Structure formats: C-alpha cells, structure tokens
Structure 1
Amino acid sequence: MEKEITQFQRLLRLLFCVGGIFGAYIYQGFLQETLSTKRFGPNGQRFQHLPFLNFAQNVVCLAWSYLMITLWSTKSSGAAPPWKYWSPSITNTIGPALGLQALKYISYPAQVLVKSSKMIPVMLVGALFYGIKYTVPEYICTFLVASGVSLFALSKSSSKTVSKLAHPNAPWGYGLCLANLLLDGYTNSTQDNIKRRYPKTNGWDIMLGMNLWGSIYSFFYMFLFPGGGGFEALQFCKQHPEAAWDILWFCVCGAIGQNFIFMTISLFGSLANTTITTVRKFFSILVSSLFSGNPLSDRQWISVFMVFGGLAYQIYLKRRRTQPRGKAI
C-alpha cells in the first residue's frame, strides 16, 4: 500500500510539473507573439525592440533565483561560482535575442518549429568535428525533422499570417533562428560541463549565474550600445502601459517556467523534461494556429507532424537506451 501511495504522489508531482511548464510557456508564447504582431495605441504602433524582452526576463529571473536561493536553498561549497557562467551567458544572451528578432520576419509557428530542430546542428557538429558516429535510427530522426522544417519553409503562408508580420522576410527569419540554434548548442554544452565539474550545483545556482551575466550583457547592449533601443523600449512602455504589462507577464512566465524545468530535471531526469517541453512546443503551435490567427495550410500541418514525429522517435530511442534490458523468460 505504501508503494502505491508513493507512486501516486510521484504521478501528482509529474502532473504538477507538466501543468507548470505547459501553462507558463504556452502563455509566454502567446504574449511573445502578441508583442511581435500587435499594434498599440490609436496610431497602431508596433513594439519594435523585441530584444528588450530578453533583458527584462534576465532581470526578473535573476531576482527570482536570488529569492529562491535565499528562502529555500542551502549554501553549498561545491556549487559553481557565478563567474563560471560568463562564457555561456554571452551565447545565451545573443541566441534568444536573435530568436525574438526573427518574429519580425517569420510567423511564431515557424520560429517554434525551427527551434525544435536543435538536434540537427548538434549531430552535424558531433559528426564533423568530434567524429561521433550515430545510428541509422538517429539519422532517420534527423531526416524527418530536417524534411519537416524544409517543407514548412517552402510552403506558402496564409495572407492573414503574413500581414501580421512587421517585415516579412522568410530567408532572414530562418537564418536568425538557425544562428539561435547554433548558439544554444554552445550554451547547453557549456552548462553541462559546469554541472559535471561542480556536481553540487543546483538549478537555482545555474539560473542565478546565467541571468546575472545575461542582465549585465543585455544592459550594456540595450542602454550603452548605439542603436540598442533600451530607452526607446522604456518610452514605448510608458506611452503604452498595455505593452508594459504584457512584458511583465512575459518575464514572470519565463521565471516560473524555468523553475518548473529545473524541478522536473531534479525529480524525473532530463529525458522526462525533454519529452514534456517537446510536447509543449507542439501545443504552442496548435494554440497559435487556433487562437492567435495564424492558420496553417495542410502542407504545413504535415511538416509539423513530421518534425514532432521525428522528435518523438528520438525520445523513444533515448528512453529505450536508458531502460535496463529485461531478463529472458
């Protein structure tokens, strides 16, 4: 009976993590799309300074992680020092900013779909530079994802979707997303290396270190670099309080989402987190198509299922490798 209660509690925790990740990031995606396409005020002005979202989220997540460490986390001498994060924070600052900037040129579903294909540059770098050999099923996964993204990119978007974009330019938008993927690859590999060298580092430590340096880098770019647009973004928020509230909730969703991701990894492992976030990205596309006025053509839906079919197969292969082989009867 005790085992059944424990399993039930574990199921409740898993559902709690799933609900937190889905709720935080799907609503954040809705706000991100709103800020990139909506016209504010009687003059119909657009919010042109999308990288400001990255700076604002860094600041809110920095404050949030500091609060969580102060209230809940115990001090550990084995945690990685904050200065260790200066390098991955550079790519983590530039990468998401490029992804946000891409929303001026391509639709939100297209951006999510391209960002879901992170496995492609990872396998390319591994095969070309590190001599890693992949299995046939892994290449099948990559082929499905690459074909799906290519089919989506070549499919014609609806006129309604294109009319909402600030500057429709598919090649430039997809190029920004690709650069985002490559930078994310470096960020993730460096974070993993830090975690291996400092095993006592917890999720809030990583969140604090990354967002500390991210806030510094973003501040220099937004407010001290010519054309950064930080002061213009603040002025826009002052003139349009509705946009300011959207940005605030965007940042809060990001902080809550990061907490649920770290909680999921610590309780259920990275594979469970990958599964949840992959399904969440599919639902983000679904919500965008049904409720945000971004209708997809039949060909685009086929490409979406190809991408997430490939990702689902990849998750299945990882799960099969991590499970112990059963004994023959």
Structure 2
Amino acid sequence: MATADDVCLRLAVCVIGVYSMFLLWAISQERLSVPFKSLDGKTSDKFKSPIFLSTCQSALSSTSALAYLFLRRKPGQTWLELLGLSPSAVDSNTKSNGTANGTEANGRIKSNGHAPVSSKHSFKTSLLPKYIQCSFFITFAAPFGFAALSHVSYPAMVLAKSCKLVPVMVMNVLLYRRAFARHKYVVVALVTVGITMFMGLGGEGGKKHGAKGRGNPTLRHNIIGLSYLLINLILDGATNSTQDEIFARYKVSGQQMMLWINLLCTLLTSLISVLPLPYIPVLHPSNGGETELKSALDFIHTHPSIIYPLVQFALTGALGQLFIFETLQHFGSLTLVTITLTRKLFTMLLSVVVYNHKLTPGQWAGTSVVFAGISVEAWVKRRDIHAKQVIQRRKGQSSSLYRFPESARRRQRFRV
C-alpha cells in the first residue's frame, strides 16, 4: 500500500508535469502562429501547414502512449489485452478519461441506456468507428484553432478554450440526448457573458492585426476569430462527447484510447498531407496544387528557426497528455479539473508576460467572470464527490455496526 508521502510525491509530479508541459506547449503554439524570418533574413513568413503540425503531435502522442502502455504492462498480459483489442483487456487504468489533442477530460458519465459492450468483435464493428469519428473531429478542429490566432490574441483563445463545457454540453444533448444538472446552465451563462465582455471591451485588435479594410477592423477580426474558435469548440465538443460514450460503453483505458485515436489521426493527416489539394481556406492554406507536406518541408528548409518551437509543440503536447491520464488514474477528474483550471489561468498570464499582450480592465473583468463560472462547476463537482464519500463511509460504518451485535449475540448464545 502506498504511503501518504508516496501519494503526495505522485501528485506533485503530476501537477508539475501538467503545468510544465502545457505551459511550454502554449508558448510554442503561439510562437508558431507568428511570422518566421527566412534563412537570408530578408523576409518574414507565416507557417501555413496546420495539418502538418497535427501530424507531428499525433505521431509523438501515439508513440508516447504505446511506450507508456509497454512500461506499465502487467505480467502475463498479452499484446491484444495491452492494446485494448481483447474483450478481457481491463486494468487499473480503466477509470482514466480524457481527450486525445492535449486537451482536458470531462470525467466519466453514464451511458444513455446502452449496455457495456464486451463482444470479441466489438473493436472492429463498433469501437473502431468511434475512434475514427474522434480522429476526424480532432483533425479538422486543429486548423480552425490555429487560424483563429491570426485574428484574436492568444489570451482570448485560451479563455475561449476554457469554455469547452458549452460545446460539450450541446453536442452531448444533440448527439446522445443526455441531460445535465441545472447549475451547468448557470456556468454556461457566466462563461458566455465573460467571453462577450472580453471580446467587446478589448482595445488592441486593430493595432495588433494592422488591418486596413473598410469598417471596424477590430470588430471584423473578432468576428472571424470567434467564428473559427466556435467551429473549433464544436468539433472539440463532438470529440469529448464521443469519448464519453466510449468510456461509458467499452472497457478501455485512457492510454489505449490515446494510442488509437492519435494513431488514426496520424494516418489521416499523413494522407491529407500528401494529396495535391487546391487552396482551401483554413484547412489547406498552402499554395493550390502543392502538397502540404512539400510546402511544410520547404518552409522548414527556408525558415530553420521554426524547428525548435515545432519540436517543442509536438513533444510537450504528447508528454502532457500522459500526465493528464496519470492524474486521472490516481486522483480522479476533480483533481484534474482543479489543475487544468489554474493552468489555463497561468497560461494566460504567461502569454501576457512573454508576448507583451495588453489587456484592458474590461477584459480582465471578463476573464474573472469566465473563471468564476468554471469555478462553480469545480465546486459543485467537489461537493458531490465529497457527499458520495460520506455516504459510502456511513454505509461501511453501519454495516460493521450491524455485524458486531450479531457476532456478540452468537458469543452470548455459545456461553449459555
């Protein structure tokens, strides 16, 4: 049995891992959205291959998940069980939950009237399509998040990504017809008001983008950026709701899901990268007729300064997912919600310091409203879990009290 010191040490490692990996990931993500100087130093160009970025991260994520599963392999466990391809593949990680895109988990939820699936053919017939569905959502969500950074500041994007509860709720209702507690609608209202305040009370949009169009350039950029973020969040919500359904119906661990979804994402993005697609806004902004892989490799060759943030982006995103699943496995979703909530706040502060963003008092107020709404969600979850723990302890005590008089009576009858 692990001692209290061991538990504290494990928790400290998880917290440090999530913070360090995703703070570094955020810095590299924002750096990749701004121009890089060419090799001769005469020009500066933006990297326009978001699918290539996704390929790099998903490839490293699937590799790290496989390495994690191999290192945690139990004696006598077959490869089919290790990879989640066997109906008997159940281990202590089954309680894990999360996203495959370096994003946070929503916790285990009950399936909507569906019995758990354990057929030996379930992987091919029902589980694999779910993984493919998640991979499509993730693949096409990432470019919209990357494109949004050309129109809104990174703190605005972090704040919007903190509101994933909204699209997750909507997609769960639309796709799987699930109902939610009343307080969640209060959280959604606070988040919506906070985002509106942040975007409406900002003052740097026009200067940041240097737009020279008709009308209000700040308003135009905000509308475009928020539209991209909305699409990104809707696809993220569809991903999370599908992952919730997988965990509710199938006996898989978080690391197994991380492996398969990222592997399928790598195959999908690699296929897209080698196709000579025409110019497609957001999804394929490279030159029409040129493959994204060639465009990305040419850019790296002429702009070598991109290599470091690119490697940092892929590596920290992959390792960060492992720390998230480790936290879920040993401490549950409540602890993870607390860690990720504060991490996003520090991500905003770090972005403001590192890249010298200027936030108005109204934007800080909007940020406070958003995090207040998310804090309500965390507080309610903590209260519910604490209440369940108290009920379980009382049941244990009552059952022991019930057994004690019975044993006493038996000893009394024996004496007589």
TM-score, normalised by the number of residues in structure 2: 0.71
Aligned to 1:322: 385
Aligned to 1:132: 179
Aligned to 1:142: 188
- Rounded Cα–Cα distance in structure 2 between residues aligned with 1:276 and 1:29: 16
- Rounded Cα–Cα distance in structure 2 between residues aligned with 1:161 and 1:109: 16
Aligned to 1:156: 202
1:274-320 CA-to-partner distances (Å, cap 9, x unmatched) read 22112111111110011212121111111111111110111100111
Aligned to 1:31: 28
Q: For 1:204-283, what aligned pairs fall within 5 Å after superposition? A: 204-226=255-277, 227=279, 228=284, 229-283=292-346
Distance of aligned partners of 1:207 and 1:150 in 2 relative to their CA distance in 1, 3 Å threshold: same
Aligned to 1:68: 68
Q: Which amino acid aligns with 1:12?
A: L
- Rounded Cα–Cα distance in structure 2 between residues aligned with 1:155 and 1:39: 30
Is the aligned partner of 1:297 residue 2:360?
A: yes
- Rounded Cα–Cα distance in structure 2 between residues aligned with 1:182 and 1:198: 24
- Rounded Cα–Cα distance in structure 2 between residues aligned with 1:134 and 1:88: 26
Is the aligned partner of 1:94 residue 2:94?
A: no
Contact 1:36 1:50 in 2 (8 A): no
- Rounded Cα–Cα distance in structure 1 between residues aligned with 2:180 and 2:17: 37
Is the aligned partner of 1:173 residue 2:220?
A: no
Greater shift after overlay, 188-197 or 16-25?
188-197
Contact 1:160 1:294 in 2 (8 A): no
Q: Aligned to 1:37, what secondary structure does the other structure show? A: coil
Q: Which amino acid aligns with 1:224?
A: L
Q: Which amino acid aligns with 2:133?
A: S
1:259-279 CA-to-partner distances (Å, cap 9, x unmatched) read 000100101112211221121
- Rounded Cα–Cα distance in structure 1 between residues aligned with 2:349 and 2:207: 14
Distance of aligned partners of 1:262 and 1:171 in 2 relative to their CA distance in 1, 3 Å threshold: same
Contact 1:54 1:218 in 2 (8 A): yes
Q: Which amino acid aligns with 2:179?
A: I
- Deviation at residue 175 of structure 1 after TM alignment: 1.0
- Rounded Cα–Cα distance in structure 2 between residues aligned with 1:160 and 1:27: 28
- Percent identity between the aligned chains? 31
Aligned to 1:109: 155
Greater shift after overlay, 214-223 or 144-153?
214-223
Greater shift after overlay, 14-23 or 96-105?
96-105
- Rounded Cα–Cα distance in structure 1 between residues aligned with 2:250 and 2:189: 36
More helix by share: 1
- Rounded Cα–Cα distance in structure 1 between residues aligned with 2:255 and 2:168: 26
- Rounded Cα–Cα distance in structure 2 between residues aligned with 1:61 and 1:232: 23
- Deviation at residue 138 of structure 1 after TM alignment: 2.9
- Rounded Cα–Cα distance in structure 1 between residues aligned with 2:180 and 2:302: 55
Aligned to 2:55: 55
Out of 236, 243, 264, which is 1:191 matched to?
243
- Rounded Cα–Cα distance in structure 2 between residues aligned with 1:178 and 1:311: 18
- Rounded Cα–Cα distance in structure 1 between residues aligned with 2:21 and 2:194: 27
**4+ runs of 1 displaced by more than 6 Å?**
none
Distance of aligned partners of 1:124 and 1:255 in 2 relative to their CA distance in 1, 3 Å threshold: closer
Contact 1:59 1:211 in 2 (8 A): yes
- Deviation at residue 125 of structure 1 after TM alignment: 4.7
Contact 1:24 1:253 in 2 (8 A): yes
- Rounded Cα–Cα distance in structure 2 between residues aligned with 1:139 and 1:187: 21
1:62-86 CA-to-partner distances (Å, cap 9, x unmatched) read 2222233334334422348483411
Distance of aligned partners of 1:139 and 1:196 in 2 relative to their CA distance in 1, 3 Å threshold: closer
Aligned to 1:83: 128
- Rounded Cα–Cα distance in structure 2 between residues aligned with 1:52 and 1:98: 14
- Rounded Cα–Cα distance in structure 2 between residues aligned with 1:144 and 1:161: 29
Q: Which amino acid aligns with 2:266?
A: S
- Deviation at residue 240 of structure 1 after TM alignment: 2.0
- Deviation at residue 49 of structure 1 after TM alignment: 2.3
Contact 1:238 1:244 in 2 (8 A): no
Q: Which amino acid aligns with 2:26?
A: G
Aligned to 1:308: 371
Q: Aligned to 1:60, what secondary structure does the other structure show? A: helix
- Rounded Cα–Cα distance in structure 1 between residues aligned with 2:13 and 2:245: 29
Q: Gaps spanning 5+ residues in structure 1: where?
A: none
